[in-house]
Chain A
Amino acid sequence: MKGNEAIAEAAIRGGCKFFFGYPITPQNEIPEYMSRRLPEVGGVYLQAESEVAAINMVYGAAAAGARVMTSSSSPGISLKQEGLSYIAACELPCVVVNMMRGGPGLGGIQPSQSDYFQATKGGGHGDYRLIVFGPASVQEAADITAEAFSIADYYRNPVMILGDGALGQMMEPVEFRPVEERELSPKTWAVTGSRGRRPNIITSLELEPALLEKLNLRLAAKYEKIGRELVRFDTYRLEDAHWAIVAYGMMARVARAAVDKARARGIKAGLFRPISLFPFPSTPLAKVAEQVRGFLAVEMSMGQMVEDVKLAVLGRRPVHFYGRAGGIVPTAQEILQALEGLVRDRNKASREGGDAGAEGFRTTGSSN
């Protein structure tokens, strides 16, 4: 099944009943699939006049207590940022898919990871966070999307599935598993008509500074809780690794191949793959720093997640970066070369410093 379609089907299985969207490449299969399937399950698909309108329709439906989703790609997600800020401020649950393409500006339509900052650091105005997941396969994208609605409801927070054009367009086998629902409180805050109760008001306007700060403090406490409870990551051949490649999403699959290539060349490489991008798996990554000689962050960007890697490692080990932009996907060979360069530099520094900890390449026979 195509990544985009698997996400759409998983959303429906996760309880999504409403979808508001606007076409943009490379995620069009999501609204197309939703327009076919949602009416079959008693839901509503509506094509909005713009991304701005779409996210505000999401805001309205979420406020009314519905499970609702929108999807877009980079320039379209930029247009949704205003609405996302409001939704986050009002603590409403929804799911947003961003199938990233090359930017900035109109950019291109090839896969990219250059919206990491926007997704994980806020994007819209104000002190808020989205819960962000970066799946690396169609199966994982389906699993996370299905669960995302329950997560969004539980934390009353927007959840973003951060994929890229390649994930959306590729076909892989996928199994739709039953969704494990969290124990959820009734949505007593929703604007559903005030029958039998006092009216509900949903607003993010607070002119009194002390009260607005209180909202920010409450949100910060929630993000801290999310940080304790939602961190997800995966590792590959990291147990005895001297070098850790850090990559997420589709990039991590190429990095995994690079790990195997490096191992074949005598470099003890491993992969650390963040699955939750907010909250970022800082603590487990910091533990890896106790074991490895250095990190190589690999991204389809000019270097964005690498900043979170550096923050996690806090200078205990060197953190390097290799990335391509504009929709170019780094190859496993390129990553291997970047890693070999790091090993070579360290060996040179070790020799000059009289350190015996240098590492060699099997094929060059210069092991020590």
Chain B
Amino acid sequence: MVRKVFGRPEALTETPTHYCPGCTHGIVHRIVAEVIDELGVRERTVGVVPVGCAVFAYYYFNCDMIEASHGRAPAVATGIKRALPDSVVFSYQGDGDLASIGTAEIVHAAARGENISVIFINNAIYGMTGGQMAPTTLPGQKTTTSPAGRDTSRAGYPIRVCEMLSTLDGASYIARVSCTSPANVARAKRAVREAFEVQLAGGGFSLVEFLSSCPTNWGMTPIEALRWIDKEMSAYYPLGEYKVPKVPEEASQGG
């Protein structure tokens, strides 16, 4: 008897993705899709996709999807969620989208405690437009618009999104993960599942930041890129859970 032990999640379509070799967008898509499947919410999920590398994500997720303009995904997600409170709404955003042009939208969605889940891809660079400096570009990192390396005296400092958003009362679950090893992928999936479960429980705003690779624009091999995430990016952007839902007082006393 043949038993199927591995297959494509129902929440992903059969469409081949356009992502560069060695980029971890594909892994993140799969994680999100597996979580949607496991929670059994595919038919009430609406995904909001960004401008940037993931602009075609609506071809890859097998659920209702909408394209947002650059940086506005949290506002679009807000409109959908307010109109359809029983839906499961996630936005999928890159670092230029979320930490630069859409800073106001993400901060205020978090501050409102908007009951949505945000998947945030931080690869420290503008990928789709060809490797320009992002708000998340590390100090000294070379990009096409910081050819001598990011000079913080002129270009300022990177934004640590998880740390910033976790100061807001409306934010419920905030975590930073990576996909550089099987163990990290497993942790990442647990974080995404937690983010969606918080939303399903009506717990408010959740965000999972992925430190993601961009071998093409970093000028590295895929393996070098993953090592760079572990060594350089994770040092500036430590992995971990920055905020978890508060345990109700009775439960903590009882425990």
Inter-chain contact A60/B43, CB cutoff 8 Å: no
State whether A194 touches B82 (Cβ < 8 A): no
Contact A53 B105 (CB under 8 A): yes
CB atoms of A60 and B77 under 8 A apart: yes
Contact of A191 among B46, B62, B75 (CB under 8 A): B46
Known: A49-B104, A193-B87. A200 touches B82 (CB 8 A): no
Question: For chain B, what secondary structure do more than half of its interface residues adopt (helix, strand, loop), or is it mixed?
Answer: helix
The number of A-B residue pairs with CB atoms under 8 Å apart is 131
- B83 engages A61 (CB within 8 Å): yes
Tell which of B64-72, B134-142, B187-195, B214-222 binds the partner.
Answer: B64-72
Question: Are A66 and B46 in contact, with the CB atoms below 8 A?
Answer: no
Task: List which B211-233 residues lie within 8 A (CB) of chain A.
Answer: none
- Residue B117 interfacial (CB < 8 Å): no
Are the C-beta atoms of A64 and B45 separated by less than 8 Å? no
Contact of B79 among A63, A193, A194 (CB under 8 A): A63
Q: State which size class the interface on A falls in.
A: 35 or more
Selected contact of A199 from candidates B64, B67, B87, B88, CB within 8 Å: B64
Question: In the complex, what residue of chain B is closest to A60 when comparing beta carbons?
Answer: B79
Tell me whether A64 and B46 are in contact in the complex, defined as CB-CB below 8 angstroms, given that A191-B64, A193-B64 are known contacts.
yes
A196 to B78 CA separation, bound complex (whole angstroms): 24
- The listed residue with most B CB atoms (<10 A of its CB), out of A54, A194, A199, is A199
Q: Is there a chain A Cβ closer than 8 Å to B176's Cβ?
A: no
0/1 string, B23-52, CB within 8 A of A gives 1: 000000000000000000011111010000
The reply to whether B83 and A59 contact each other, CB–CB distance below 8 Å, is no
Cα A317 to Cα B42 with chains together (Å):
63
Question: B10-29 interface mask toward A, CB cutoff 8 Å, 1 = contact, 0 = none?
Answer: 00000000000000000000
Flag if A191 contacts B66 (CB, 8 Å). yes
Q: Closest A-chain residue to B62, C-beta based?
A: A199
- Would you call A61 and B82 a contact (CB within 8 A)? yes
Q: How far is the CA of A57 from the CA of B81 in the complex (A)?
A: 10
B110 to chain A, nearest CB (A): 11
Residues of B within 8 Å of A63, CB to CB, are 66, 76, 79-80
Is A77 positioned at the interface, with any CB of B under 8 Å from its CB?
A: no
B118 adjacent to chain A (CB < 8 Å):
no
- Indicate whether A83 reaches chain B with its CB closer than 8 angstroms: yes
Q: Which residues of B contact A332 (CB under 8 A)?
A: none
**Residues of B contacting A44 with CB < 8 Å?**
82-83
Q: With a CB–CB cut-off of 8 A, which chain B residues contact A65?
A: 83
Give A46-69 as 1s and 0s: 1 = Cβ < 8 Å from B's Cβ atoms: 101110111011111111111010
Please tell me if A133 contacts chain B, counting CB pairs below 8 Å.
no
Q: Does B186 contact A (CB under 8 A)?
A: no
Of the residues A60, A195, A200, A201, contact of B83 by C-beta under 8 Å: A60
Are B79 and A191 in contact, with the CB atoms below 8 A?
Answer: no
Q: Does B243 contact A (CB under 8 A)?
A: no
Which chain B residues numbered 98 to 145 have a C-beta less than 8 Å away from chain A?
104-105, 107-108
Kindly list chain A residues whose C-beta atoms are within 8 Å of the C-beta of B108. 48-49, 53
A57 partner residues in chain B, CB cutoff 8 A: 75-76, 78-79, 82
Residues of A within 8 A of B242 (CB): none
Binding site for B on A (CB under 8 A): 17-18, 20, 44, 46, 48-50, 52-54, 56-66, 68, 82-83, 86, 90, 191-196, 199-205
